C-alpha cells in the first residue's frame, strides 16, 4: 500500500489558487519580466526572512522534545519516530546544503502599503497580477514543485507537523506488530530474524509512510513563515533541484541587492503559450498618469495589449 500525503498537508498544497496573484517589483524588474516573459526565483536562504526553512525545522525539534517526555508504547514506535525525524533533520529530507530550493513570491493583495515599502524602490514600484491557475503540476506527477499559500500561525504549523508524525506512528505500529508476529513464528522454529531481511511486504507500509511524511513536511517547511509577515498573504511557487544538477532549460546566476549577492534561477515561471500576466498596478510615484501611459505602451510593444493597467489607490508619498 503506497501512502498518500497527510490530509492536512494535501489539502493545503491543493488550496484553490486565487484568480490573480501579485508580484511586487521595481520598474527595472518589470521591464525584464515583460521582455523575457519570465519571473525569477530566489534561493530560499536569501529571502528577506533570514530564518526561512530553519523556522520550520525549529518547530519539528520542538515537537521531538515534546515526544521525549511522553510515555512510549510497548512497541517502541515513539522512539522509532524520533530517530527518523532526527536523522532527517541532520542529513535527510530537511537538510538543505545538497539541494537548491528556489522560490517566487506572490501576494493575494495587489495594492498594499507594506509591500510597496518593503519590496519596491521608493517611487518606482509596480505590482504585476498573474493568473497562475495553470502553474500547479497535476496530482501524482511526482514533481517537487507547486504553488500554495504560506502558513503563518504556530497553531496551524504544529497541527500539520503532528498530523504528519501521527501518520508515521500509525504505520510504525503496524510494522512493529508484523515484525513481532514474524519474530514469534521464527523463534518457535529456533531461528533468528534480521529486520533488514524482512520481506518487503512487511517493511513497505512503514517505509512509504516515512517517505511521504518527509516529502510532505519538506514542502510545508518551505511555506512556513514567521507570523510577523502575515500581512503579506504570500503565495509561493517553489521548486527544488539537486545542487549538482546540470542546468537544463534554466539559468543560474547571482544578482546584487543592497549589500548582498543572491543566488537566482531564471526561469522558474516562464511564458508557455500566453504569458499569464493579467493586470499591472503602478505604485505610488510622481506623475502616475504618465507612468500608466508608459506601461501601457510598453505592454503593447510586447504583445500584451490585453493587460489592464491602473494606479495604486494608496495616498503614499516617499519622494
Q: With respect to residue 229, please indicate whether it lies within any of the assigned structural domains.
A: no
Q: With respect to residue 230, please indicate whether it lies within any of the assigned structural domains.
A: no
Lowest-confidence region among 133-142, 172-181, 235-244? 133-142
Q: Is 210 exposed, middle or buried (0-12, 13-18, 19+ CB in 10 A)?
A: buried
Higher-pLDDT residue of 115, 182 = 115
Higher-pLDDT residue of 146, 156 = 156
Task: Locate 114 and state its grid cell.
Answer: 507594506
User: Does pLDDT of 1 surpass 70?
Assistant: no
In this structure, are 205 and 192 located in the same domain?
yes
Q: Which domain holds residue 90?
A: 54-95+153-224
Q: Given phi > 0 = left and psi -120 to 50 = alpha, else beta, which region is 22?
A: beta
Distance CA 280, CA 307 (A): 7
DSSP conformational letter for 4: P
Mean pLDDT, rounded, of the chain: 80
| Cβ atoms < 10 Å from Cβ of 138 | 7
Paired residues of 231 in beta bridges: none
What is the rounded average pLDDT of the residues 189-211?
Answer: 62
In Å, how far are 163, 209, 237 from 44, measured between CA atoms?
Answer: 25, 27, 11
Task: Locate 216 and state its grid cell.
Answer: 510532505
In this structure, are 173 and 210 located in the same domain?
yes
User: Does pLDDT of 271 surpass 50?
Assistant: no
In this structure, are 212 and 255 located in the same domain?
no
User: Does pLDDT of 241 surpass 80?
Assistant: no
Total domains present in the chain: 2
What is the rounded average pLDDT of the residues 6-23?
Answer: 90
What is the rounded average pLDDT of the residues 186-205?
Answer: 58
In this structure, are 207 and 304 located in the same domain?
no
Whether residue 46 contacts residue 153, with contact meaning beta carbons closer than 8 Å, is answered with: no
In this structure, are 278 and 294 located in the same domain?
yes
Please tell me the pTM assigned to this model: 0.81
In this structure, are 308 and 217 located in the same domain?
no
- Single out the residue in 205, 224, 243 at which a domain terminates: 224
Distance CA 236, CA 22 (A): 11
Q: What is the pLDDT of residue 138?
A: 65
Q: What is the pLDDT of residue 308?
A: 97
In this structure, are 32 and 63 located in the same domain?
no
Q: What is the pLDDT of residue 253?
A: 66
Q: With bands split at pLDDT 50, 70 and 90, how would you rate the model's confidence at 257? A: confident
In this structure, are 43 and 71 located in the same domain?
no
In Å, how far are 32, 141, 143, 256 from 259, measured between CA atoms?
Answer: 22, 39, 34, 7
In this structure, are 190 and 82 located in the same domain?
yes
Amino acid at each position: 500500500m503506497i501512502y498518500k500525503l497527510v490530509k492536512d498537508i494535501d489539502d493545503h498544497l491543493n488550496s484553490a489558487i486565487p484568480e490573480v496573484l501579485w508580484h511586487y517589483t521595481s520598474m527595472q524588474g518589470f521591464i525584464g519580466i515583460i521582455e523575457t516573459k519570465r519571473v525569477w526565483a530566489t534561493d530560499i536562504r536569501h529571502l528577506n526572512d533570514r530564518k526561512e526553512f530553519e523556522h520550520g525545522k525549529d518547530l519539528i525539534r520542538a515537537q521531538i522534545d515534546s515526544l521525549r517526555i511522553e510515555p512510549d508504547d510497548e512497541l517502541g514506535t515513539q522512539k522509532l519516530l524520533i530517530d527518523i525525524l532526527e536523522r532527517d533533520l541532520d542529513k535527510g529530507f530537511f537538510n538543505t546544503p545538497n539541494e537548491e530550493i528556489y522560490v517566487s513570491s506572490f501576494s493575494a493583495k495587489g495594492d498594499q502599503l507594506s509591500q510597496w515599502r518593503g519590496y519596491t524602490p521608493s517611487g518606482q514600484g509596480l505590482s504585476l497580477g498573474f493568473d497562475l491557475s495553470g502553474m500547479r503540476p497535476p496530482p501524482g506527477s511526482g514533481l517537487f514543485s507547486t504553488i500554495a499559500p504560506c502558513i503563518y500561525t504556530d497553531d496551524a504549523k504544529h497541527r500539520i507537523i503532528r498530523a504528519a508524525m501521527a501518520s508515521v506512528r500509525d504505520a510504525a505500529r503496524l510494522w512493529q506488530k508484523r515484525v513481532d508476529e514474524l519474530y514469534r513464528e521464527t523463534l518457535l522454529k529456533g531461528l533468528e530474524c534480521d529486520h533488514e531481511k524482512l520481506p518487503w511486504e512487511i517493511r513497505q507500509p512503514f517505509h512509504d509512510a516515512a517517505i511521504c511524511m518527509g516529502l510532505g513536511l519538506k514542502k510545508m517547511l518551505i511555506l512556513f513563515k514567521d507570523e510577523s509577515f502575515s500581512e503579506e498573504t504570500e503565495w509561493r511557487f517553489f521548486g527544488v533541484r539537486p545542487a549538482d544538477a546540470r542546468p537544463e532549460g534554466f539559468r543560474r546566476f547571482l544578482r546584487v541587492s543592497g549589500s548582498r549577492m543572491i543566488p537566482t534561477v531564471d526561469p522558474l515561471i516562464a511564458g508557455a503559450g500566453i504569458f499569464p500576466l493579467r493586470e499591472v498596478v503602478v505604485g505610488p510615484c510622481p506623475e502616475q498618469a504618465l507612468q500608466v501611459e508608459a506601461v501601457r505602451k510598453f505592454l503593447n510593444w510586447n504583445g500584451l495589449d490585453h493587460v489592464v493597467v491602473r494606479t495604486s489607490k494608496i495616498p503614499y508619498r516617499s519622494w
